[in-house]
Chain A
Amino acid sequence: MSEYLIEAKNLVRRFGSRRERVTAVDGVSFGIREGEVVCLVGESGCGKTTTGKMVAGLLKPTEGQVSYAGEEIWGEGGKKGDGFKSYRLKVQIIHQDPYASLNPSHTVFKILSAPLLHHKLVNSRAEAMDRVVSLLGTVGLGPVEEFITKYPHQLSGGQRQRVSVARALTVNPKVIVADEAVSMVDVSIRVSLLNILTNLKREFGVTYLFITHDLAIAKFFAWEGRIAVMYIGSIVEFATTPQLISDPRHPYTKALLSAIPEADPELTRRKQRFELRSQDIPSLLDLPTGCLFHPRCPLFEKGLCDVKRPELTPIGGGRFVACHIAAREAGRS
């Protein structure tokens, strides 16, 4: 019996034709325990969204497997496995763009009642109405009469995201993949949205895969969880949030943490920078040899980092890092 509710095993995803093949995700593995929050953090193009969609079963992995409750969801020949049916409704997604995540032709009531009626989770329209009212209450949208007949274009961005959350909740999921769910929402609304998600975790034990490029938001939302930092298709560091924030080991993580501008003038202007050797992000069609980060890495050791690709290695305390230097240093202490 796996300790993890949902697991990614060596996920690989390639795109493109035979001539121009791009590997967006190159061997990503991690597990999320029930009720846990795991954040996937990285810059654009690192493959975090692609990974998220594979975990959510919306994208088929080129190689690798996703397991839910111990059962693999993909079967032979890339078809949906036996585990897929029980998995499908248990893992839901919340999208980034509030202006694209709701069907513009449907009212809020229709959006929320459709899954209820389709899966016969309610016996009548009246029951569906009750459930919709309760869901809107859970996501803090009220008074209810004001919202059920509205169309998406009549709602603000924050309100639409709440409807998205409510929609995901209609089928009582155990895992929610939140793909940059608060990035396109106003700053003052972000926290309340994150609090709704946190409440769902506390009250209903919802498990999260939270994808974001914003380390500060990741720190806030996943403080009791773990963060995986991704760089060009692989995880380079994986640790609990307090560990990662206060004691990053991978040079890329260090660079990110030192580079983030912060909403505190003295702090941010005095922050010590972890300088990288180059600003250039390698093209996905022409990746570096050995460690993908080596051309930019100040800790680069010739003969090692440009030759051998570092594996995600455990360095004690439940932490993992994919760096020869960091692993060596951890081995010493």
Chain B
Amino acid sequence: MQTMNSTSQQNQTPPLSIRNLWVEYSVERGLVKAVRGINLDLRPEESLALIGESGCGKTTLALSLIRLLVKAATITQGTITYRRDGQELDILSLNSRELRRFRWRECAMVFQSALNAFNPVLRIRDQIYDTARAHGVTSREETHQRALELLEHVQLDPKRVINAYPHELSGGMRQRVLLAMSLLLDPQVLILDEPTTALDILTQRTIIDLLRRLKAELGFSMMFISHDLATAAELADRVATMYAGNIVELGSVADIFYHPTHPYTLGLIRAVPTVTGDFEELASIPGSPPDLIDPPSGCKFHPRCTYATERCRVEEPKLEPVLGIGHTVACFHHDLVEQDTESLAKNHSHTTRKNTL
């Protein structure tokens, strides 16, 4: 198990590239088009947040990356390419043996229902050995050492935790063990599904700080899916907002939060309260998420959009670049949104915000 060498920092080829990915679920009522033509790169050592609400396809997308979709789901189009040390792997064409080597060693995933991911009758150390062995690492000694190191990294008492049963640990501790386990085989890419949802405030804080530190120390690329804008604001370098199976806006975290150009992104930001500062009016987005079996025509967001025009009902916008490096948005009226955002930025100038403590 080698650790990442520093030359990869200069290496600009993204470890993970998704091109034109389409995923469909077959259910009784019809075909659910959960992911509709996603193009995305995960850059080396970057932290990318996929923000969206229930039913936007973000979890389907994440599961496709390690091919953990259910039987009813089919990847109908597109490619997922993984790169490391100049070599390329077409993820969608791997057989099951190759997949097992890919998962956990190259790309690890931490699930949302993480707290129940443990086998209650096995000690932590046995679950760690099993995981390592399942993915091709048979040396118990090596695994043990690495595990102790990582448990230390996640600020747990290694000797105590490695010999414990899951029920002896608190929810926050289990989450940290899972993080440690995911990094066991030194993956280049870490995918987290809702890492902070359902956690208490102080535990959230610990996990967020931990992720930040781990990423800085171990140098992996991180993609996390969340509906929580605050987590993205804390951890992300870039943010992609997803709606109805598409990415509707992609940009740096500053661009997304301070210069959003898609009505949905703006809507999300306006719907989330902050604790610091005075009372702010919030606005919700009218309507409900679309039916993915029979989605609206044209732009999928148009029924809920205050900027929608006839063109939006007919044509679906593609991601186009706007101001800001690497900032793209899929909206015909992004300039109108930009104007409204300007006034938003003026009223809530982040540079004049007071820290209360």
A contact set with B: CB distance below 8 Å: 43-44, 156-159, 186-193, 195, 213, 215-217, 219-220, 223, 242, 245-246, 254-274, 276, 279, 281
**A269 adjacent to B234 (CB under 8 Å):** yes
Q: Is there an interface contact between B234 and A268, defined as CB atoms closer than 8 Å?
A: yes
Establish whether residues B257 and A264, one from each chain, have CB atoms under 8 Å apart when the complex forms: yes
A213 and B274 contact, CB distance less than 8 A: no
List chain A residues, Cβ under 8 A from B203. 43
Which of these, B227, B233, B282, B288, contacts A156 with CB under 8 Å? B288
Cα distance, A257 to B61, chains bound together (Å) = 34
Cross-chain contact A259 with B201 (CB below 8 angstroms): yes
A187 surroundings in chain B (CB, below 8 A): 53, 227-229, 268, 271-272
Query: Which one, B202, B267, B282, B355, contacts A256 given CB within 8 A?
Result: B202
Interface string of B264-307 (1 = CB under 8 A from A): 00011101111110011011111011000000000000000000
A55 and B211 CA atoms in complex are apart in Å by 40
Partner of A263, one of B171, B201, B269, B356: B269
Which B residues are closer than 8 A to A by beta carbons?
A: 53-54, 155, 170-172, 196, 200-206, 208, 227-234, 253-254, 257-258, 267-269, 271-276, 279-280, 282-286, 288-289, 348, 350-351, 353, 355-357
Taking A213-B201, A254-B357, A262-B276 as contacts, is the C-beta distance between A220 and B233 under 8 angstroms?
A: no
Q: Which residue of A lies closest to B282 (CB)?
A: A191
Extra contacts besides A262-B276, A263-B257 (4): CB < 8 Å: A187-B268, A191-B282, A220-B279, A261-B228
The 9 closest A-B pairs by CB, nearest first: A191-B284, A43-B200, A259-B205, A261-B230, A192-B284, A188-B285, A263-B229, A220-B273, A186-B53
Q: Which of A159, A192, A267 has the most CB of B within 10 A?
A: A267
Provide 23 A-B residue pairs closer than 8 Å at the C-beta atoms, listed in order of the A residue. Answer: A43-B200, A44-B171, A44-B200, A156-B288, A159-B288, A187-B229, A187-B271, A190-B271, A191-B271, A216-B272, A220-B279, A220-B282, A245-B275, A259-B202, A261-B231, A262-B275, A262-B276, A263-B232, A264-B348, A265-B257, A267-B353, A273-B205, A281-B170
Q: Flag if A261 contacts B233 (CB, 8 Å).
A: yes
CB contact between A219 and one of B53, B275, B289, B355 (< 8 Å): that residue: B275
